[in-house]
Amino acid sequence: MGAVDRVDGVEIASVKSVTKSESMANSSSGAIRLARPRNSTAMLDDAPGLGREAADQGYLFFRRLVPVAEVLDLRARVLDVCREIGWLDDRVPIAHGVVRSAAQIGAYDDIWTSLQCRVLPLPEFGRLREHPTITAILTAIFHGPFLCERGDTCRVFSPASRKLTTPPHQDHFYVRGDTALWTVWFPLGDCPLELGGLAVLPGSHHAGLRPHRDENADKQGIDVGPDFVWVSANYRCGDVLMFNSLTVHRALENRTPDCLRISVDFRYQPVEDPENPCGLR
């Protein structure tokens, strides 16, 4: 797979490198190279094929895997919480998810914890975590039964928050436990590149755990050189990205003028190692 000039019509040159801190940004600033992810949607009825693709690439990407209506139901509930917290511009319809001017959202602080406490128990959240289309794929990946609720998260990121943007990292650095753990990530709504979705490095899980560093313990990341080609997409509502806990991934910066990027990530692991991870990102 080579670098491409555009991903779904967006020039890669306009996607700037995002890193966990200004010091890292100085060492690796500049455009990052993006390509389209391999689309596994056509393999949904081929469980062995999905298992092979997952083992080989360390990620799977599906278009319109989960029902848009269910994703938008959860989005509406999360936006209610965002409004109550005071993050939204209340002159704009709540469904647009427009952020109050100058709000910097995405830090792992007390408000973030309060967001988790209010969103994770929602029935809409639980229904998506155990959606049959997702669990069927996980059965193919794990070749058998698995545990859910291994560290689920709802994320909200404001624009102009480069320092808060998720840096390149591997979940295993934070989760530890079983490297067979997989994360299922998707945006709650359409998420074009400029809104700052997730990007993964295909096949990076094969090289094991890499060194992570930063002065901020919550945002430790990997210094990835400029030659690596990431895959990301103009995600549409219902699209789903899945990746192994050793697969290197990052968020792209939210470069919209005023929109929140809202997403969820669910974690699962095979029953053979029921160690419950903690300290998840």
Which residues contribute to the site for ligand AKG (CB under 6 A)? 155, 166, 171, 183, 185, 198, 249, 251, 263, 265, 281
CB-based contact 156:240 (threshold 8 Å): no
**Which residue's CB is nearer to ligand AKG, number 40 or number 183?**
183
- With a CB cutoff of 8 Å and minimum separation 6, the contacts of 87 are 99, 100, 103, 105, 156, 158, 260
Phi, psi of 270 (to 5 degrees): -65, 155
**Which residue's CB is nearer to ligand AKG, number 45 or number 164?**
164
What sections of the chain are H helices per DSSP?
22-28, 47-57, 68-85, 110-119, 123-129, 132-142, 171-175
From the CB of 29, what's the least distance to ligand AKG, in Å?
19
Please name the amino acid found at residue 279: G
From the CB of 151, what's the least distance to ligand AKG, in Å?
9
From the CB of 281, what's the least distance to ligand AKG, in Å?
5
From the CB of 80, what's the least distance to ligand AKG, in Å?
20
From the CB of 226, what's the least distance to ligand AKG, in Å?
21
**Which residue's CB is nearer to ligand AKG, number 47 or number 81?**
81
Half-sphere exposure of 213 (CA within 13 A, CB side): 5
**Which residue's CB is nearer to ligand AKG, number 40 or number 245?**
245
CB-based contact 65:240 (threshold 8 Å): yes
**Which residue's CB is nearer to ligand AKG, number 91 or number 152?**
152
CB-based contact 24:214 (threshold 8 Å): yes
Half-sphere exposure of 215 (CA within 13 A, CB side): 5
**Which residue's CB is nearer to ligand AKG, number 142 or number 235?**
235
From the CB of 83, what's the least distance to ligand AKG, in Å?
21
Q: Which residues are registered as beta bridge partners of 185?
A: 241, 265
25-38 as b/e: b if 16+ CB within 10 A: beebeeebbbbebe
From the CB of 46, what's the least distance to ligand AKG, in Å?
26
Q: How is residue 11 written in tokens?
A: 């020039």
**Which residue's CB is nearer to ligand AKG, number 40 or number 153?**
153
Q: How is residue 220 written in tokens?
A: 């430790």
From the CB of 45, what's the least distance to ligand AKG, in Å?
27
CB-based contact 183:171 (threshold 8 Å): yes
**Which residue's CB is nearer to ligand AKG, number 78 or number 144?**
78
